[in-house]
C-alpha cells in the first residue's frame, strides 16, 4: 500500500470511530432525558398524592404526619397574611397603620 492509501484508510477509520462515538453520546443523552422525564412524573405524582392525603387528613392528622400537616397549615396562614399585605400596599394602604381614621380629627 502506498502512503496515500494508508492515510485515506486512517482518515476513514477515524471518521467511523467519531461517528460511533457521537451516536453513543447521543444515545446516552436520550436515555438521560428519559430518566429526567420519569423523575418528573414521579415528582408530580408524589405531590398529587401528598395533596390528596393532606386534604383528606388535615383536620384529623395521625401522629406520624402532624408535623408536616401543621407546617402546611402555618405556611397557608402566612401566605394569606402576606397576600393581604401585598394587596394593601398595592392600594396604598399601610397594613401597620391604625384603621380608626377619622377625617374630622384633622
- Residues 6-23: pLDDT tens digits? 888 999 999 999 999 999
Specify the range with the lowest mean pLDDT, choosing from 5-14, 59-68, 89-98: 89-98
- Are 17 and 39 found together in one domain? yes
Segment 84-91 shows an average pLDDT of 93
Domain that holds residue 13: 1-57
Is-contact 69 58, C-beta < 8 A?
Answer: yes
Q: Report whether pLDDT(63) > 80.
A: yes
Give the integer Cα–Cα distance in Å for 43 and 25.
27
Q: What percent of the chain has pLDDT above 90?
A: 74
More confident site: 16 or 96: 16
More confident site: 104 or 81: 81
Give how many domains the chain has, as a whole number.
Answer: 2
- Are 2 and 49 found together in one domain? yes
Q: So what's the pLDDT on residue 2?
A: 87
Q: Residue 11 gets which letter from DSSP?
A: H
Amino acid at each position: 500500500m502506498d502512503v496515500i492509501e494508508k492515510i485515506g484508510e486512517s482518515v476513514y477509520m477515524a471518521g467511523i470511530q467519531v461517528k460511533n462515538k457521537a451516536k453513543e453520546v447521543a444515545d446516552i443523552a436520550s436515555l438521560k432525558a428519559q430518566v429526567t422525564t420519569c423523575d418528573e412524573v414521579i415528582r408530580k405524582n408524589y405531590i398529587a398524592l401528598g395533596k390528596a392525603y393532606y386534604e383528606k387528613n388535615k383536620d384529623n392528622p395521625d401522629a406520624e404526619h402532624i408535623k408536616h400537616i401543621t407546617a402546611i397549615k402555618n405556611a397557608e396562614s402566612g401566605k394569606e397574611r402576606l397576600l393581604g399585605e401585598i394587596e394593601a400596599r398595592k392600594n396604598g394602604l399601610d397594613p401597620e397603620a391604625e384603621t380608626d381614621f377619622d377625617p374630622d380629627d384633622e
